[in-house]
Structure 1
Amino acid sequence: MEGPALSAVADAPAGNWVDRYAPPKVRPYLQLARLDRPIGSWLLLLPCWWSTALAAGAARQPFPDPRLLILFAIGAVAMRGAGCTWNDILDRKIDRMVARTQSRPIASGAVSVPAAFAFLVFQALIGLAVLLSLPRFAVITGLASLGVVAIYPLMKRITSVPQAVLGIAFSWGALMGWASVFRSIDDPALLLFAGSVCWVFAYDTIYAHQDREDDAIVGVRSTALLFGQASWLALALCYTATVILFAMALLGAGSGILAWIGLMAFAYHLHGQVKRLDIDDPALCLAIFKSNRDAGLILFAGLSLDAIGQHLASIWLS
């Protein structure tokens, strides 16, 4: 039986639109899908958009395909919600022992496990509808990610680097945009994917520092516990690898000056994150983690403007 919905979840932003406007019966499901904190959807979406924009520049398209950008946005929200629902089903006992997560809908009893499964299927069907709207090669590429998505919530029980598995899952979109444009996966897409894995590994390490003490108590693992006070060095190395791999992707795709300016601005943002980080300040860790949306949008803007600029240049030179 489902219990009464809580008015808010502890780790959601205060005054978010779900808590303010959603009907009480719907609210716990929106909270379960994390629609009260959209940062995860942004971070899942951005590699898709990067890949679409990088492919547009390589194909000398006038701009990134708006249809693909919209489809990826819908898919990111649906699949992030499905992933969070699956995570909360598996982690319901752990969530009850952690102050930041014990008010989540399943852990608190606001949503029953059977109802959560039904909601998971609903969200997955939306994601499937989006996937089937893509070219066949991209459909096959997308389906190949499901195994990684399914096992991620279990990784913190068996490995100290669950962030590496999350990196693979959240970076799959770096292949999807390119696959949708070229019907293949080429070196630039693979390099973009590898760089994105490093990026996700780093920013989720920052996020994990919020729960470092609780994780140690309940016996789950993370890179925050693994690296401890050496986290700044691990982050610096991961972010450096991210920028190098992205630069190699730009070279392989034949990107122009605007893409390189976007990458330099992105790199500067990552440098600032490492410089500001205090792993003993949970609020700052959360703020720096969330700032990766802005970093990603900066890179997307550079890639998109470069596609537009290269197309105009090709017209002018023809």
Structure 2
Amino acid sequence: MRERINLYLALIRWNRPAGWLLLLWPTLSALWIAAHGFPGWHLLVVFTLGTILMRSAGCCVNDVADREFDKHVKRTAERPVTSGRVSVREALVLGAALALLAFGLVLTTNETTIAWSFTALAIAIVYPYAKRFVSMPQAVLGVAFSFGIPMAFAAVQSRVPLLAWVLLLGNLFWVLAYDTEYAMVDRDDDLKIGMKTSAITLGRADVAVVMASYGAYLCIWCLALADRLPLAVLAVTAAAAAAQALWHFTMIRDRTHEGCFRAFRLNHWLGFTVFLGVVVGYASR
């Protein structure tokens, strides 16, 4: 039993919290923005646990969808489903159970959030298969990983205003940046197996597009929040986040596997920086 539990924990990447932190920080930022400050413990718990559960469920679906491809990629060949230690049925049952738990949390909010949750689930299921047909599947992932933003507004305001979609657009550029860094790690293997990724599509423009995407993310969020946060707080937050993006450039410019993977893993700190700026900004108003 202990061995099975360890395999299930490996399947949902329990030992790699950076994955769900990348989803959590923009979602919590949206909660604070929608509520003009602290959103209350109920919504904070619902969206924190819901983010962890849905990311875990997404890992199950992703590993089932990619199991034949992952066999040919050194970094993923030993994943539980790919290696056969966890069956496809087990992975799908676990993923469905986690998604149902997340839906149970959504049921404690309101009808608007419940309605949008079905769209979020559909996008999460579609993404793993987009890599077969879309030359920039990271854009699809960007929508999936950013959908906590409109759901946060729905939970607080019972509607999804234009601001939520602007923030989603900005966050999509951040996802494009860090997931392209991730794709750069596996580019050689993905070329051999015919997988489509932004790192392959962009070619030698990959680093430039990653940095431009960081810039677009920060610019869109700063413009969207310019009349909602004190300018001093916004400026310090943007400067700190931009400094991290420049640090990432030093890690990815040579396109080494180690540097690109390290840059990807550290991205959650950039998201935390923006979240902290939002929290401080509303607290100081």
Could you say which TM-score interval applies, normalised by the shorter chain?
A: over 0.9
What is the aligned partner in structure 1 of residue 35 from structure 2?
56
Per-residue CA deviations over 1:90-121 (Å, capped at 9, x if unaligned) read 11111112111110001111111111121111
Kindly report structure 1 stretches of 4+ aligned residues shifted beyond 3 Å: none
- Aligned residues of 2:226 and 2:234 also touching (Cα < 8 A): no
The aligned counterpart of 1:88 is: 63
Matches within 5 A, 1:1-318: 23-57=2-36, 61=37, 63-251=38-226, 254-257=228-231, 258-310=233-285
State the shift of 1:282 in Å: 1.1
Compare CA radii of gyration and give the structure with the larger one. Answer: 1
* Kept in 1: contact 2:171–2:217 (CA 8 A): yes
Equivalent residues of 1:206, 1:289 under 8 A apart: yes
TM-score, length basis structure 2: 0.94
Specify whether residues 279 and 182 from structure 1 end up closer, same or farther in structure 2 by C-alpha distance, changes over 3 A only: farther
CA deviation map 1:208-240 (0-9, x unaligned): 011000000011011111112211211122112
Larger mean Cα displacement after TM superposition, 67-76 or 197-206:
67-76
TM-score (norm 1): 0.85
**Could you tell me the percent identity over the aligned residues?**
33
Deviation at 1:255, TM superposition (A): 2.0
**Contact map agreement 2:251 2:260 (CA 8 A) in 1:** no
State the alpha-carbon separation in 1 of the partners of residues 230 and 157 from structure 2: 19
The answer to whether the 8 A contact 1:52-1:65 is kept is no
Alpha-carbon shift at residue 279 of structure 1 (Å):
4.9
Query: Compared with structure 1, are the counterparts of its residues 308 and 84 closer, same or farther at alpha carbon in structure 2 (3 Å cutoff)?
Result: same
Work out the CA distance in 2 between the residues paired with 1:151 and 1:41: 19
Q: Which stretches in structure 2 are left out of the alignment for 5+ residues?
A: none
Distance 2:237 2:148 in 1: 19
Unaligned runs of 5+ in 1: 1-21, 311-318
Is the 8 Å Cα contact of residues 202 and 235 (structure 1) preserved in structure 2? yes
- What's the RMSD between the two structures over aligned residues? 1.6
